[in-house]
C-alpha cells in the first residue's frame, strides 16, 4: 500500500464518510486483509460499503472506531501491537537460502494464537519446568558436529532411529514426538482449521516462538497451496527449527530447498550435520542424480538437500551441483499434482494444536482452570461443539 493525503470513502446509509488515507493504510497494511481486493479498490478511489468495511475491520481484529482517530494515535497503537507480537521473536524475519522474507501479516493470527496458548499453560500448568533445549547451543564455541551431537542428546533421539523410520513422514512424526516429550510444543498447519489461511503468495516453512518453558514450533505441512513442503524438506525444516531453539533464536523461517546459493548459516550447518554427517558424505560418491536420490532415501531428506550438503562439503563440483539442482527443480515443477484430502475436523484441529499442547490444555480443562466455552474458543475456534470435546480427547489418546 502507498499512502497519500486522499481520503478513503465509506458509505453508510447513503452518506459518504471519509477516512484519512494514512490511517486506513497504517491499520490495514500489516493485517491479514492487506491484500484483499476490497482494500485495493478503496485505495484506488472506489467507495466501500460500511458493511464491507466493518467485516474487514473484524477480520483484521481492528476496532473500527480506531479508523477515525488521529494519525499519531493510530501509529502508536500499531507500534504497540507490533512490539507485543514481536515479543515472541528474536528478529522480524529469517530467510534460509531464500529470496523472500516472511510477511508478519501472513502469520499474525497464528502467532497470536500460539502465544495465547503458551501464556495459559505458563499460568496454570504446575508441571512445567525450565526447558532443557532452549539455548543449549547458544553462542557455542564447540564444533558443528559437537553441537549436532549435543542437540540430539537433549532431544533424546539418535541418527539410527531417524533412519529406521519407515518413511520420511514417519521420521517427521518421530522427531515431533521426541520434541514434545521435552516440553517443546509443535503445531502443524491444517488448512481451514487455523486462525488464518496461508495466502498463495506466502513463502513460509515454519517458525519458532519464544518461551523459556514451552517454546512453540509451527511447521508448514504441505497443504498451503503452490508452495508445498514435501516430507523430506519438512524433516530438514523441523531439524533446522530445533537447532534455532537450541540457539535461542525465535523467528519465522523461509527455507528454500531448491536454491543454488552456497551461503550456509551455522544453524543450517548444524541441521545438515545432524541428518547428513560429513564423515559419511565424504565417503560417498555422486556420479549421477540416482546416487543423490539413493542417499536422500537413506538420510530421509530431499535429493536437493543432499546435493546442497555435498556441495558445501566439496564432495561435488559446482557444475555438477548446478546440473543436479536444475534437473531436480524440473522434476519438482512437473511432478503429478496431489489432491489434498481434507482431514476430519477433530484430526485437523489436533494436527494444528499439536498432541502435547492438546494434552496439557485438556489437563487445564479437567482441573477447571478453563471452562468448556473457553476451551472451545482457544482450541477449536468454536468450530466444534462442546459435545465433541470427548472426541478430541479420544484423538489425543
**3-state SS class at 76:** helix
Q: Find the mean pLDDT for residues 309-326.
A: 94
Q: pLDDT tens digit string along 328-342? A: 988 888 877 766 566
Q: How high is the pLDDT of residue 225?
A: 42
Task: Locate 215 and state its grid cell.
Answer: 517454546
In a domain, 2, yes or no: no
In a domain, 291, yes or no: yes
Pair (265, 323) in one structural domain:
yes
What is the helix, strand, coil percentage profile of the chain, to 5? 55, 10, 40
Quote the Cα angle for 146-159-280, to 5°.
70
Higher-confidence residue of 353 and 92: namely: 353
Q: How high is the pLDDT of residue 100?
A: 61
Pair (362, 261) in one structural domain:
no
Q: Find the mean pLDDT for residues 353-371.
A: 97
| Residue 275 CB partners (closer than 8 Å, separation 6+) | 159, 162, 235, 236, 239, 299, 300, 301, 305
Residue 367: domain span:
345-396
Q: Residue 132 — very low, low, confident or very high, per pLDDT cuts 50/70/90?
A: very high
Q: Is the pLDDT of residue 1 over 50?
A: no
Q: How high is the pLDDT of residue 221?
A: 73
Q: Is the pLDDT of residue 263 over 80?
A: no
Q: Is the pLDDT of residue 148 over 70?
A: yes
* Rounded Cα distance, 143 and 145, in Å: 5
In a domain, 250, yes or no: yes
Q: How high is the pLDDT of residue 34?
A: 80
Q: Is the pLDDT of residue 3 over 80?
A: no
Indicate the residue among 290, 309, 333 that finishes a domain.
333
Q: How high is the pLDDT of residue 163?
A: 95
Strands 185-188 and 216-219: parallel
Q: Is the pLDDT of residue 261 over 70?
A: no
Q: How high is the pLDDT of residue 220?
A: 85
Indicate the residue among 26, 52, 87 that finishes a domain.
87
Pair (63, 212) in one structural domain:
no
Higher-confidence residue of 227 and 307: namely: 307
pTM (predicted TM-score)? 0.83
Q: Residue 232 — very low, low, confident or very high, per pLDDT cuts 50/70/90?
A: confident
Q: Is the pLDDT of residue 97 over 60?
A: no
Q: How high is the pLDDT of residue 201?
A: 65
In a domain, 339, yes or no: no
Spatial CA neighbour of 139 closest among 239, 241, 247, 264? 247
Q: Is the pLDDT of residue 227 over 60?
A: no
252 φ, ψ to 5°?
Answer: -70, 145
* Rounded Cα distance, 139 and 170, in Å: 32
Q: How high is the pLDDT of residue 204?
A: 79
In a domain, 124, yes or no: no
**Percent over 90 (pLDDT), the chain:** 68
* Rounded Cα distance, 335 and 303, in Å: 14
Higher-confidence residue of 171 and 259: namely: 171
Q: Is the pLDDT of residue 302 over 80?
A: yes
Pair (50, 183) in one structural domain:
no
Counting the structural domains of the chain, the total is: 3
Q: Find the mean pLDDT for residues 352-356.
A: 97
Instruction: Tell me what the pLDDT averaged over the chain comes to.
Output: 88
Pair (239, 313) in one structural domain:
yes
Indicate the residue among 284, 301, 333 that finishes a domain.
333
In a domain, 119, yes or no: no
Q: Find the mean pLDDT for residues 355-366.
A: 98
Higher-confidence residue of 193 and 225: namely: 193
In a domain, 120, yes or no: no
* Rounded Cα distance, 37 and 43, in Å: 10
Q: How high is the pLDDT of residue 4?
A: 44
Q: Is the pLDDT of residue 5 over 90?
A: no
Pair (219, 290) in one structural domain:
yes
Pair (357, 325) in one structural domain:
no
Q: Is the pLDDT of residue 375 over 70?
A: yes
Q: How high is the pLDDT of residue 229?
A: 59
In a domain, 361, yes or no: yes
Max mean pLDDT range (44-48, 86-90, 153-157, 220-224): 153-157
Pair (155, 73) in one structural domain:
no
Higher-confidence residue of 257 and 79: namely: 79
Q: Residue 372 — very low, low, confident or very high, per pLDDT cuts 50/70/90?
A: very high
Amino acid at each position: 500500500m502507498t499512502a497519500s493525503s486522499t481520503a478513503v470513502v465509506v458509505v453508510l446509509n447513503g452518506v459518504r464518510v471519509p477516512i484519512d488515507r494514512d490511517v486506513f493504510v497504517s491499520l490495514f497494511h500489516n493485517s491479514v486483509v492487506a491484500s484483499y481486493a476490497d482494500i485495493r479498490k478503496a485505495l484506488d478511489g472506489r467507495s466501500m460499503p460500511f458493511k464491507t468495511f466493518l467485516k474487514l475491520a473484524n477480520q483484521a481484529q481492528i476496532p473500527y472506531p480506531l479508523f477515525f482517530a488521529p494519525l499519531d494515535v493510530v501509529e502508536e497503537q500499531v507500534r504497540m501491537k507490533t512490539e507485543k507480537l514481536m515479543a515472541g521473536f528474536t528478529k522480524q524475519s529469517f530467510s534460509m537460502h531464500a529470496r523472500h522474507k516472511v510477511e508478519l501479516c501472513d502469520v499474525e493470527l497464528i502467532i497470536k494464537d500460539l502465544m495465547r496458548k503458551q501464556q495459559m499453560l505458563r499460568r496454570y500448568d504446575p508441571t512445567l519446568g525450565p526447558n532443557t533445549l532452549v539455548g543449549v547451543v547458544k553462542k557455542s564455541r564447540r564444533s558443528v558436529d559437537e553441537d549436532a551431537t549435543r542437540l540430539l542428546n537433549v532431544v533424546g533421539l539418535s541418527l539410527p532411529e531417524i533412519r529406521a523410520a519407515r518413511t520420511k513422514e514417519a521420521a517427521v512424526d518421530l522427531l515431533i514426538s521426541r520434541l514434545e516429550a521435552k516440553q517443546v510444543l509443535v503445531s502443524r498447519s491444517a488448512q481451514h482449521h487455523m486462525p488464518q489461511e496461508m495466502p498463495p503468495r506466502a513463502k513460509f516453512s515454519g517458525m519458532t516462538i519464544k518461551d523459556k518453558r514451552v517454546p512453540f514450533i509451527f511447521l508448514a505441512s504441505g497443504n498451503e497451496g503452490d508452495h508445498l513442503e514435501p516430507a523430506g524438506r519438512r524433516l530438514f525444516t523441523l531439524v533446522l527449527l530445533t537447532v534455532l531453539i537450541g540457539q535461542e533464536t525465535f523467528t519465522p523461517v523461509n527455507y528454500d530447498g531448491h536454491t543454488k546459493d552456497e551461503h550456509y548459516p551455522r544453524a543450517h550447518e548444524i541441521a545438515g550435520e545432524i541428518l547428513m554427517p560429513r564423515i559419511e558424505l565424504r565417503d560417498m560418491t555422486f556420479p549421477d542424480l540416482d546416487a543423490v536420490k539413493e542417499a536422500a532415501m537413506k538420510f530421509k531428506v530431499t535429493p536437493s538437500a543432499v546435493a546442497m550438503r555435498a556441495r558445501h562439503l566439496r564432495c561435488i563440483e559446482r557444475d555438477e551441483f548446478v546440473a543436479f539442482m536444475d534437473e531436480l527443480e524440473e522434476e519438482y515443477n512437473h511432478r503429478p499434482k496431489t489432491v489434498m484430502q481434507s482431514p476430519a475436523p477433530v484430526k485437523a484441529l489436533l494436527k494444528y494444536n499439536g498432541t502435547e499442547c492438546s494434552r496439557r490444555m485438556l489437563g487445564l480443562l479437567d482441573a477447571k482452570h478453563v471452562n468448556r466455552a473457553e476451551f472451545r474458543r482457544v482450541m477449536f475456534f468454536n468450530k466444534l461443539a462442546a459435545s465433541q470435546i470427548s472426541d478430541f480427547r479420544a484423538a489425543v489418546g
